[in-house]
């Protein structure tokens, strides 16, 4: 730390992203990317836009915003696009939470929430999950705090039924409820249809997972016009050109090819069920997931050892060094061939260490 670093950030513990080896040596099943490339239309749109990089991007990303609104059945004024959904989450924390309006979220969840809260000096409560890692909706009803819940949750993959989400939103009318739907396209139900019924509901989504665009950094928020207008106040005070030309063009093209992406999501779901069943045959406990990853543990090998042994053999998965989930690993779902390779390698590791 330099002697110039501001006092207000000196205790900040930054978010630690999953490993991102750039040499593409590994089978990457560690950061929930799609194994499928973007559609052809996306590459063409990016190439065309690259010719116009001398011009600033549209600060309102009008075409992309209108397309998202069309696909999700809302008005363009109910949509804001951001540099990954991380940015819209940070903006929402900045806009709606403070010392007087603290936050609550599950104790096992996306690791960035505590960091966004800390950097914005927002007090927060981490609400414990049940022993089986599910969220108890009663813990969130009428709690008089702003709430953030990923649905499905990460890294468990559990979906909270929409009826429970609605109860939480309805029982906290004077607080904002943010539903982080980064993984919703892999079989869970979205809360977007509730947007016009509740003015305290804010939904975030991303192009990083289901639309194969993690590297382009594109996320969005959907909410009432008033909430979106507040986010735009923050956005225009931070970085009005938060979406670069190529990403905006890529996002628009991706939505024009939506069928391709939704078909890929169905393939991921099939591969997920297949991989879960194969791992269960090897004695693993696999939590029921509605995301593009599974969370699994085995009595036969520790979470850390499995992570290390797979890495030695060229496969990256995610291990979290946190007491309650130390036995588990989060495994991103890839193609059928990739999942077969994973299962086969796990089998070999177990046999080697037991034989
Ligand atoms: N929410 C959750 C639950 C996530 O796991 C992630 C991915 N790390 C994000 C949001 C942010 O993803 P992105 O910024 O790529 O949209």
Distance 209 CA to ligand 1 centre (A): 8
pLDDT of residue 19: 85
Give residue 233's domain range.
40-256
State in Å: Cα 114 to ligand 1 middle: 14
Q: What's the 251 CA to ligand 1 centre distance in angstroms?
A: 16
Task: Examine residue 107 and state whether it is found in any structural domain, yes or no.
Answer: yes
Beta-bridge partner residues of 103: 124, 146
The answer to whether residues 226 and 202 belong to one domain is yes
How many other CB atoms are found less than 10 A from the CB of residue 240? 14
Do 212 and 199 lie in one domain? The reply is yes
CB of 180 sitting under 6 A from ligand 1: yes
H-helix segments, 188-334: 225-236, 245-256, 258-281, 303-312
CATH number at residue 286: 3.90.1150.10
The CA distance from 115 to 101, in Å, is 17
The answer to whether position 206 is within a domain reads: yes
Examine the domain organization and report whether 27 and 93 are in the same domain. Answer: no
265 and 251 in a common domain = no
Structure token digits, residue 54: 């001398």
Domain termination site, one of 230, 256, 282: 256
Asked if residue 347 belongs to a domain, the reply is yes
Cβ-contact 114, 150 below 8 angstroms: no
pLDDT, one tens digit per residue, over 108-130 is 999 999 999 999 999 999 999 99
Asked whether residue 9 is domain-assigned, the answer is: no
Q: Could you say which residues of the chain have pLDDT below 70?
A: 24
Of 256, 281, 316, the position where a domain reaches its end is 256
3-state secondary structure of 9: helix
Q: Look at residue 24 in the predicted model and tell me its pLDDT.
A: 64
| Residue 2 is assigned to a structural domain of this protein | no
Q: What is the pLDDT of residue 18?
A: 86
Could you tell me if the CB of 150 is within 6 A of ligand 1? Answer: yes
Last residue of a domain, one of 256, 274, 294: 256
- Residue 149 near ligand 1, beta carbon < 6 Å: no
Does residue 33 have its Cβ closer than 6 Å to ligand 1? no
Tokens 């106040």 sit on residue: 233
Same domain, 273 and 345: yes
Answer yes or no: is the C-beta of 251 below 6 A from any ligand 1 atom. no
3-state SS, residue 294: strand
| CATH number for position 51 | 3.40.640.10
User: In the chain, how long is the greatest CA-to-CA distance?
Assistant: 63
| 250 and 128 within one domain | yes
- Residue 331 domain flag: yes
Question: Could you identify the residue written with the tokens 């999700």?
Answer: 72
**Is residue 84 lining ligand 1, measured as CB closer than 6 Å?**
yes
| Residue 17 pLDDT | 87
Q: Residue 212 and residue 34: Cα distance in Å, rounded?
A: 5
Cα(207) to centroid(ligand 1), Å: 10
Substitution candidate for ligand 1 out of 155, 182, 212 with most atoms within 8 A of CB: 182
Kindly state whether residues 168 and 311 are assigned to the same domain. Answer: no
What total of structural domains would you count in the chain?
Answer: 2
Clarify whether residues 218 and 269 are in a common domain: no
- Ligand 1 near 222 CB (within 6 A): no
Does residue 99 sit in the same domain as residue 233? yes
């Amino acid at each position: 730390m330099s002697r110039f670093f501001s006092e207000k950030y000196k205790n900040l513990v930054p978010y630690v992203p999953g490993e991102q080896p750039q040499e593409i040596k590994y089978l990457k099943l560690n950061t929930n990317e799609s194994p499928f490339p973007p559609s052809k239309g996306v590459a063409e749109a990016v190439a065309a836009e690259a010719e116009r990089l001398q011009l600033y991007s549209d600060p309102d990303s009008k075409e992309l915003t209108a397309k998202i609104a069309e696909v999700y059945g809302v008005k363009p004024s109910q949509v804001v696009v951001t540099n990954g959904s991380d940015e819209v989450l940070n903006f929402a924390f900045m806009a709606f939470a403070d010392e007087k309006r603290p936050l609550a979220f599950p104790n096992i969840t996306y690791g960035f929430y505590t960091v966004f809260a800390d950097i914005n000096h927002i007090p927060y409560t981490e609400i414990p999950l049940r022993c089986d890692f599910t969220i108890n909706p009663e813990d969130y009803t009428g709690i008089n705090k702003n709430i953030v819940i990923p649905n499905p949750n990460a890294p468990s993959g559990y979906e909270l039924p929409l009826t429970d989400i609605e109860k939480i939103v309805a029982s906290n009318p004077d607080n904002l409820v943010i539903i982080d739907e980064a993984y919703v396209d892999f079989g869970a139900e979205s809360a977007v249809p509730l947007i016009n019924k509740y003015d305290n509901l804010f939904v975030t989504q991303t192009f990083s997972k289901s639309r194969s665009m993690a590297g382009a950094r594109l996320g969005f928020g959907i909410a009432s016009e008033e909430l979106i207008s507040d986010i735009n106040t923050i956005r225009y005070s931070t970085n009005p050109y938060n979406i670069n030309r190529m990403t905006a063009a890529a996002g628009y093209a991706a939505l024009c090819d939506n069928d391709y992406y939704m078909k890929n999501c169905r393939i991921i779901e099939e591969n997920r069920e297949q991989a879960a069943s194969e791992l269960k045959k090897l004695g693993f406990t696999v939590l029921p997931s509605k995301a593009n990853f599974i969370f699994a543990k085995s009595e036969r090998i520790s979470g850390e050892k499995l992570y290390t042994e797979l890495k030695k053999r060229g496969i990256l998965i995610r291990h979290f060094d946190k007491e309650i989930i130390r036995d588990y690993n989060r495994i991103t779902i890839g193609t059928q061939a990739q999942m077969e390779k994973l299962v086969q390698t796990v089998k070999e590791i177990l046999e080697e260490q037991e034989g």
